[in-house]
Structure 1
């Protein structure tokens, strides 16, 4: 079974392509096109007044979709930005100590690692890293301002199991705990209801939310980081009558906003969420479908000379399989030459599955692998 009909435009754009990189650039469903067109139509009809709709019903709908998915008690803790890096910079800017003492896993994404390395060079950050399974132990024994960890590690697919233990350490005056949910949001079921008052959570629409780039979000717990030093005028969007010289902030998640942005991602996100609701496609439903495809693929032992880093078990699993070995890069290149899209990170080949795949797609992929 698949839901190819929901992706007719993307699939028709290259009918012979096998796109097994849904964990990287998830193909856009047709609904996202409708959302994009709605953004254009609103700009044409409303012109200057479009921001009233964007920061009103469009914004609030997107907040509610995120809050429902994560079981957050209040959608107002959520703000949006073009990318998660913007939020990282603003969170760090709100920490009053210098240098900022940071603990992170040793498997964070390139953007985080690059920024931290540069801040270490400039003396603004002292960084310590730990394996994900040692993170809580290190956090409990150290003295940190910021603890940063991916819910699902982008390279290996390892799932962080200790969010509650990390949340127990968080305090408004530090340390702050930030969970990067980019490979978790709508990829695995996530309930933040018991930690929403203590942890930051950031993610976006580029992966399993199927909405493309430009629609990232942050859940910021009340009482934490009330005045980010890196800020834009949208952070006081509903109070532009402050006395001159006074820097005001919204009392909710909007305190992390920057300035004018492209709102089309919000429209795409809402349109895709509406589509998923209409089709009855929950995160659990999609994960179950993906798990069947992954098991079917693994039953054929496609890469006997590489190690599977994230074995299938009985609990949540990343939407991709990560194979490590010397053949990762040549295999990726050979597949690419046959119009099969995967991706490679160093010596790790990642293969991502989605609802636009069915068993016949997996069989076709295995046949191509066997021909290499």
Structure 2
């Protein structure tokens, strides 16, 4: 079910390239170009009244797309920003205790990893980190640490960015969340539109953050936060966009919106939301749901995994596949993560052959998507065999 026709601009821009990093910088569909042009045209057409149009039409449409994808009952719990780091700062600012007691893992993405370390250095946080390995026991160990109590904030990835392994006990973790603490934040960056995700049963208790950079195919600048009602009602780090709407707060004090808009920041480039809306239009028009796209990506990943096991991909047979594909499994990344001491040199050699993958420490990652077909996969296998 390869749909190269939807990516003609990106593919024709580098016709000799084999791009197997759909989990990293996903190629943009042609619809993204149309969305970008629409953003410019709307700015020219509406001029000083542009933000009325953006908050009246563009943002509500993007909120609706996210809510449908995640099974969220109310699109108004969703706020957008240029990056997820903004949301980390705003949630952290709302904890009325110092130092903030945080439970997390040793496998979180750099935006949280670095910030958490800096909070610790400054004496603003105490962070307990549960090791991912051995992953077979991770969920049990993490839940055990969460149930032990004593934390204000629990932060964990749905799908871990480095290894592609998934944390599936979201409902059990959500049962521990309370408005007075702990708050639970799910980092869904490698889950959103990569795997079917239904938050309807836990939306009233967990924060969820992700973005449109990867599997939503819409580039940087379009991150979002789902914020449950009653949790962190008055973040200290607050932007002026949060002044508009149904406000609550002390008399004469700073008011905050009562929906997810309490986490709004300030002026930002909304062109990513135009690209996202346009990409969703295109996918919807073609009936390309997340399960259908995932099935295509899984078929490619399974074929590549078999080639690795059979020795057809050369030295990759020496690597440890951290997240092997199991047919029908839904809770996993849309990439294969292979660990080997020479992962970095393999990635560089493939790049020199115009085959794009990426590497995290000693893990090389191969991402699969709509714009790849069996012929592309054969090219990847040949390139790997030549390492």
Give the TM-score category using the shorter length: over 0.9
Q: Is the Cα contact below 8 Å between 1:83 and 1:214 reproduced in 2?
A: yes
**Equivalent-residue separation in structure 2 for 1:187 and 1:161 (angstroms):** 15
**Equivalent-residue separation in structure 2 for 1:257 and 1:97 (angstroms):** 22
Task: Please report how far the alpha carbon of residue 244 of structure 1 lies from its aligned counterpart in structure 2 after TM superposition.
Answer: 10
- 1:4 matched residue in structure 2: 4
Listed one character per residue, the Cα deviations across residues 58-80 of structure 1 (whole Å, up to 9, x for unaligned) are 11100000000000111110010
SS in 2 for 1:15: coil
**Equivalent-residue separation in structure 1 for 2:70 and 2:127 (angstroms):** 29
Q: Aligned match of 1:257 in 264, 267, 271? A: 264
Q: TM-score, normalised by structure 2?
A: 0.94
Q: Is the Cα contact below 8 Å between 1:99 and 1:126 reproduced in 2?
A: yes
> How many residues are paired up?
371
- 2:214 matched residue in structure 1: 207
Moved more, 296-305 or 217-226: 296-305
2:321 matches 1:326: no
Task: Please report how far the alpha carbon of residue 238 of structure 1 lies from its aligned counterpart in structure 2 after TM superposition.
Answer: 3.7
2:372 matches 1:360: no
Q: 1:1-372 to 2 correspondence within 5 Å? A: 1-130=1-130, 131=132, 132-133=138-139, 134-238=141-245, 246-301=253-308, 302=313, 303-313=316-326, 314-316=328-330, 317-372=332-387
Pick closer, same or farther for the CA change 1:142–1:43 going to 2, 3 Å.
Answer: same
**Equivalent-residue separation in structure 2 for 1:243 and 1:266 (angstroms):** 34
Q: TM-score, normalised by structure 1?
A: 0.98
SS in 1 for 2:285: helix
Task: Please report how far the alpha carbon of residue 177 of structure 1 lies from its aligned counterpart in structure 2 after TM superposition.
Answer: 0.2
Compute the RMSD of aligned alpha carbons.
1.4
For structure 2, the 5+ residue unaligned runs are 133-137
For structure 1, the 5+ residue unaligned runs are none
SS in 1 for 2:190: coil
SS in 2 for 1:300: helix
**Equivalent-residue separation in structure 2 for 1:105 and 1:315 (angstroms):** 23
Listed one character per residue, the Cα deviations across residues 78-100 of structure 1 (whole Å, up to 9, x for unaligned) are 01000000001000101101000
**Equivalent-residue separation in structure 1 for 2:252 and 2:119 (angstroms):** 30
Q: Is the Cα contact below 8 Å between 1:306 and 1:327 reproduced in 2?
A: no
Task: Please report how far the alpha carbon of residue 243 of structure 1 lies from its aligned counterpart in structure 2 after TM superposition.
Answer: 11
SS in 1 for 2:257: coil
- 2:135 matched residue in structure 1: none
Q: Is the Cα contact below 8 Å between 2:305 and 2:324 reproduced in 1?
A: no
**Equivalent-residue separation in structure 2 for 1:182 and 1:23 (angstroms):** 10
Kindly report structure 1 stretches of 4+ aligned residues shifted beyond 4 Å.
242-245
